[in-house]
Amino acid sequence: MSARQPWADSTRLQVRAVGPHDHARIARFLAAMDRAGLYERHFAHGEAPNQALLRRMEALDQRERVAVVAVGHDGELLGHAEYVAEHGAAEFALMVLPLFRVRGIGRRLLHTLLEIAAAAGQRELHGIIQASNPRALQLVRSSGFRLVPGADRTTVIASRQLPPSPDATQTVPVIAADHRPLPFIRHDSDRTPLHRRPGPGASLREGGG
């Protein structure tokens, strides 16, 4: 991995690929995230999803398994985004520290994932978003994603088709253009499946909004 990726930003806020040296930074970033933000990202509470995210760092290849971060001028992380792809379909998720939301960081992270996915030959980027998360819904809607209801009224599926990449035609298997929906890839095995709830009569969201 080169020291500077082509999608790195030249301003004081840099968006770059995750490297092995980022493990401690990401751990501090997760510790600084608010409870509601972690739940919106993981659909679950507790440390298991955070530990799963850290373990995924070991499998990054910046093509099928991609993670990028927004880095502040002090070197600490302000945002994290990733996707995992299979058969041309990539599922993404992202999160930004509470104090730095509504500043365009999430948009830059998402657009970076779109650029990387297209260059890698992925055909679609999609994500699961809680219906009660207006910031995320506005972000994907304004970024050209199509929104459809999820498995129940609590979730929304955002998806966007990606243009073919000339550089990736030799490395990505040709898939017949039969126009059937691409398989939905669940990139985070620790994320609560859509049909699961915390318990009988329990609210999907717990504490923190």
| Within-domain flag for 207 | no
Specify the number of domains making up the chain.
1
Domain range enclosing 38: 14-168
Is 183 domain-assigned?
no
Is 47 domain-assigned?
yes
The pTM score is: 0.77
**pLDDT on residue 165:** 67
Assess if residue 174 is contained within a domain.
Answer: no
Residue 209 counted as domain residue: no
Q: How far apart are CA 94 and CA 97, in angstroms?
A: 10
Q: Would you say residue 160 lies in a domain?
A: yes
8 A C-beta contact, residue 113 and residue 125: yes
Residue 90 domain-assigned (yes or no): yes
Task: Say how many residues make up the chain.
Answer: 209
186 in a structural domain: no
Instruction: Point out the residues of the chain with pLDDT beneath 50.
Output: 1-4, 6-10, 169-183, 192-209
Predicted pLDDT at 12: 74
CB atoms within 10 A of CB 59: 10
Token pair recorded at residue 117:
């996915």
DSSP notation for 108-170: HHHHHHHHHHHHTT--EEEEEEETT-HHHHHHHHHTT-EEEE-SSTTEEEEEEE----GGGTT
CATH of the domain at 63: 3.40.630.30
Per-residue burial over 15-53, b = 16 or more CB atoms within 10 Å of its CB, e = otherwise: bbbbbeebeebbeebbeebeeebbbbbbbbeeeebbeeb
CB atoms within 10 A of CB 125: 25
**Per-residue pLDDT, 62:** 87
